[in-house]
Amino acid sequence: MASVLLESLSDGIATLTMNPPESLNALSGEMMENLLEALPRLAKDPNVGAVVITGAGRAFCAGGDVKAMAEGRSLKPKRLRLRRRH
């Protein structure tokens, strides 16, 4: 199974690519967990000057994973709260 979030680093720019294009990159619980892990880690990395978030396929992001919601699957990752750090 392919990763739902791809990560690359080039010339100080980290690129995070949401990678379930078949769901138009909908935000699943797994996607949220991956983003919540990657973003703080990249923010602390001295080799990263910027982070670009993009989506694979024809859409950036469809929003919440409505299919998972309809099936009753929780979209709440373990670490749902985001903290703003300056």
Q: What confidence tens digit (pLDDT) does each residue in 33-78 have?
A: 999 999 999 999 999 999 999 999 999 999 988 887 777 765 454 4
Beta-carbon count within 10 A of 5 CB: 19
61 domain residue, yes or no? yes
Is 5:19 a contact under the CB 8 Å cutoff? yes
pLDDT bucket at 7, cuts 50 / 70 / 90 = very high
Domains identified in the chain, total number: 1
Nearest CA among 7, 8, 20 for reference residue 55: 20
Give dist(CA 83, CA 49) in Å, integer.
Answer: 19
The domain that contains 40 carries what CATH number? 3.30.300.220
User: Residue 1's pLDDT is what?
Assistant: 55
Give dist(CA 19, CA 21) in Å, integer.
Answer: 6
Is pLDDT of 83 > 90?
A: no
